[in-house]
Amino acid sequence: MAYSFAGRTISKVGVIGSGQIGPDIALHFAKVLAPSGVSVVVVDVSAEALAAGEKKLHKKVDRGVESRAFKPEQGEGIKGAVTFTQSYDELKGVDLVVEAATENAELKGRIFRQVEGLANEGALLLSNSSHLQPEKIFTTLADKSRAGVVHYFFPAERNRGLEIVPGADTDPEHTRWLLRFYEEIGKAPIQVGSRYGYAIDPLFEGLLQTAALLVEQGVGTVKEVDTVARKVLGLGVGPFTAHNLTGGNPITAHGLSILHDEVNAWFQPPASLQAKVEADELWDTPKRGEEITVSPEKEQQIGDALRATFWGLCCEVIDSGITTVSDLEMCVEIALVLDPPFASMNDYGVKEAYELVKAFAAKFEGFPVAKCLAEQSAKGDWPISYVTREDHDGVAVLTIRRPKVLNALNAAVFKELGDHADAIAADDNVIGAVITGFGTKAFVSGADVGFLAECESPEQGETTCLASQAPLNKIEALSKPVVCALNGLAFGGGNELAMSCHARIAKSGLKVLAGQPEANLGILPGAGGTQRLPRIVGFEAAAKMLRTGRPISGKEALEVGLIREEVDGDLVAAAVDLVRKAAAGEVELKRVPAGALSDVPESLPEVELGHLSTAVDELLCRAVLEGAKLPLAKGLELEAKLWGEGVNLEDFRIGINNFLEKGPRSKAEFVNR
């Protein structure tokens, strides 16, 4: 057995190093690849490190079984797939290697010289370095085209952040494959140019530098700075706590020294950090449940310094050209569990952020004031893209990429979709398009509920719906074929977007694929769900989905005609192929009927509403039945009007507030009015 994806087959993976992160990398590979029969070999020269690594991996798997994240047989399968050994010979025939040894270029080079002769021809050789450029790691490798850096983040088996850093000699095809492969196995990778520290670690280490300097200058204690950092930056844990958890003090102290020489003179290890490293001590951080009170004046001073550091360093990374605003935005939020930098600057005010950074730079010699920040401060908000486009020989592949919220739609995404539709229509080099979602869990999980909660009047609700419908109508109206590749669940606005495409295909075996859960929130579908769904699957199947909010599986979606087929293997490639065939006239894609329907029933089939609002259901049934008697365009206008009417219902606020306060699994206590 083996794992095959996009033209490459993997039967054995090697992980070199059984220290802090190697066993976690091995665990992630085993979780996703063991079901395909892939074996994972962890090699280390230290028997003690191997024993500790195996114990750590088994403990995490057992914990997963206890929490029911894995079934017992899955847990045993994961543990059984991983071998810990001192013998490099066990790497013979390996197809992919990730080295996770000490951060030393000479040591890493020796390891890869040995591994190169053991691995299969064409195997990918990757280093989990956190700082070192590929050109310095792989200097003596015979075939540098298959080598590069993949930088994991703590904890590697759960943190989806990943930097992929190709070297000057890395084959671009290998880089493209790695980006797709890691996305396919659950990561959120970005490509980063080769520079010491890459894009993310200078931020992580720079924040600790400022935090330590604030403590040294008496601005606040370690506990106070950690507490304020969590509040103003949205950190899961403060910078001191993060370094305690990851054992990162020595790496950061060394990293700041090299960053000083290779990136910016401001970087340098503070005296307090060096003292912690020399004494092998941890920071005195807040204990679990400990309440730390910080005065407003002190909080302002600490917060301003941390914000300026964060935003200033993010902009310096953009100035360096090693990544983009949108890629850095996504990776920072996921890898470091931080507020997204450019969106947070937009909220704060880009001009105000620029002034904050300049003031900080005036106090701390050498701190960078990025050119891009100065320029953007005069323009307004940072432009952040959430929909990427990549052309595959005439087929435009649009990917909705908001993994933190399972690709949920908001006003910005709707606008981008409309803009892309316009660009595709005008591009003579494009024969059609594919729309898909980033990652493996969701195509689109729905619309941001906060975005809908802003509607306070029927007029505002109607306007919001019409604005959401407009880009989907553009997609539907394209003369070029558009195929939706459902890589995961499509709920609410996600299913509505999928239905605006000319055909839908889905990854095989999805137990939960499509749903219109709006009734659970006390609202109607507002982006075409009440109009397109009956026209695609018929009134009976549509009524069940719309009125109960219950989702259907991929198999059920195929049976009722919501999707065209289920796909094993490369879903996007299958969608691109379908677009090509449709554009060539080899297959016909069944578009949603634009006219009024002739077989409209007097009423919809009875369903069990349970706790759901009868007042909302009444509006929903009106939208379906009255809209079906109209041309599709008029039916969509009716849907928007009725959605707006729903804003006046008590159940609208009850449902929305319940979702925002208690989450999607909590049943709202509707009053049916």
Distance CA 84, CA 603 (A): 65
CA atoms lying within 13 Å on the CB side of residue 222: 16
The answer to whether residues 220 and 298 touch, using CB atoms and an 8 Å cutoff, is yes
Encoded tokens for 94: 């390996």
Spot the catalytic one: 54, 205, 518, 566.
518
Q: Which helix (H) or strand (E) holds 595?
A: none
Distance CA 465, CA 469 (A): 6
**CA angle in degrees (0–180, nearest 5) for 515-520-525:** 55
Q: Which residue has the tokens 């323009």?
A: 379
Give the CA dihedral 221, 222, 227, 228, nearest 10 degrees: 60
The answer to whether residues 529 and 495 touch, using CB atoms and an 8 Å cutoff, is yes
**CA angle in degrees (0–180, nearest 5) for 439-443-446:** 125
Q: Quote the DSSP letter at residue 409.
A: B
Burial of 630 (0-12, 13-18, 19+ CB in 10 A): middle
Spot the catalytic one: 116, 496, 566, 637.
496
Distance CA 459, CA 398 (A): 32
Distance CA 340, CA 327 (A): 11
Distance CA 4, CA 201 (A): 32
- Cα–chain center distance at 54: 29
Encoded tokens for 403: 């993994």
Q: Which helix (H) or strand (E) holds 108?
A: helix 105-116
Q: Which residue has the tokens 């920040």?
A: 373
Distance CA 216, CA 230 (A): 19
DSSP string, 491-547: ETHHHHHHHHSSEEEEETT-SS-EE-GGGGGT----SSHHHHHHHHH-HHHHHHHHH
Sequence-distant (≥ 6) Cβ neighbours of residue 372 within 8 angstroms: 315, 318, 319
Distance CA 151, CA 100 (A): 10
- State whether residue 410 is helix, strand or coil: coil
276: left (phi over 0), alpha (psi -120 to 50) or beta: alpha
Distance CA 673, CA 667 (A): 17
Distance CA 37, CA 400 (A): 31
Q: Is 518 a catalytic residue?
A: yes
Helix crossing, 350-363 with 296-320: angle to 10°? 100
Q: Is 496 a catalytic residue?
A: yes
Alpha-carbon torsion 144, 184, 317, 303, what sign? negative
* Residues tagged active-site: 496, 518
